[in-house]
Amino acid sequence: MAVSMNDSVTAGLPVRRKFDTGSLIGLVAIIVIGVAGYFLFPNNLALLTRIIAIMLLVLSIDLVTGYCGVATLGHAALFGAGAYGAGIAAVHFGITEPLTMTVVGAIAGALAGLISGIVILRAHGLPQLVLSIAVIHLFHEAANKASAWTGGSDGLAGIAPDALLGMFQFDLWGRTAYIYGLVLLIVVFLGLRVLVRSPFGMLARGAREDPIRISAMGASVKSVLLRMYVISGVVAGIGGALTAISTQVVGLDSLSFTLSAESLVMLVLGGTGSLYGAMIGTVVFMWFEDLVSAANPFHWLTMVGALLIAVVLFAPKGLYGSGAVILGRFKGGRK
């Protein structure tokens, strides 16, 4: 009986399912926290914008690592490509319209995703991880050498985006940049919610759990993973473009191994395989980093390390993942 009732619900509301309750809760949470951040930390909007940009990078890693099971320590390549793409468009080609810059960043990220996907997906496991490290170093070195375009180790300066929609100047306090970042995050979040529930999202989950079964269904696992890499490149590229627009400078650190590794740590901290885990991990890591580095500039890295050890030991599925398990148990116990 219960089953047939469920069925009639799903059959009766085929279109409404696109906006499932999960997406709605997430949307409301992002808006509430985002607006609260705007009013609570008016002097820290640059940091908050940076958190959103990195969040896009971590979401992008989650797509390939959490949903598809590809281990990577080179994902900043996609983020940096987006940042340099948007920056070079502005500095060398005079494309200073922020929306266009974002689109350029997304395309550059997708291209970087395609290239690094082709390289990284040739191997599995540990060799795959090593290839991803090689990729980020190559990207880094390429950007360093092409200093005529990228400014090399001095960074690419002089990015001057136009007013957003011709109305909102990117101000000194970073209000416009923050709100633009928040809007980008919401758009990406809703897009990814649709993606992970789509047939392709199911295929990707299947490819992580049992690639042999997926190929026995007649689907090519490699092409699934490569397509996901390109999509994740779009997301990371948008994050990179947001950095270029908001800070108006792009440095080699956006293409660094350190950033790749840190963002993977943020994902693990929050919990892989869920969009919420990626977002929570980023906020907690960066907020904690900011807090302890201000409180104790000498030993803050020790504190960050201690936090990570604590999470890995006591919440191995990450903050969100373990939280969801505990909540599930609580609900189950009350039945």
Q: Point out which residues bind other proteins (CB under 8 A).
A: 3, 6-7, 10-11, 14-15, 17-18, 194-195, 197-203, 205-206, 209-210, 212-213, 215-220, 227, 231
Nearer to other proteins, 217 or 294 (CB): 217
Nearer to other proteins, 37 or 109 (CB): 109
Residues 74, 257: contact at Cβ < 8 Å? yes
Nearer to other proteins, 92 or 329 (CB): 329
Nearer to other proteins, 198 or 296 (CB): 198
Question: Cβ of residue 81: shortest distance to other proteins, in angstroms?
Answer: 21
Question: Cβ of residue 238: shortest distance to other proteins, in angstroms?
Answer: 16
d(CA 296, CA 328): 37
Question: Cβ of residue 3: shortest distance to other proteins, in angstroms?
Answer: 6
Burial-class residue 325 by CB neighbours within 10 Å (0-12, 13-18, 19+): middle
Question: Cβ of residue 335: shortest distance to other proteins, in angstroms?
Answer: 15
DSSP H helices, the chain, are 2-12, 21-40, 45-61, 76-93, 98-120, 125-145, 147-150, 175-197, 199-209, 211-216, 221-247, 257-270, 275-295, 300-314, 318-334
Question: Cβ of residue 148: shortest distance to other proteins, in angstroms?
Answer: 38
d(CA 34, CA 25): 14
Nearer to other proteins, 145 or 213 (CB): 213
Residues 244, 83: contact at Cβ < 8 Å? yes
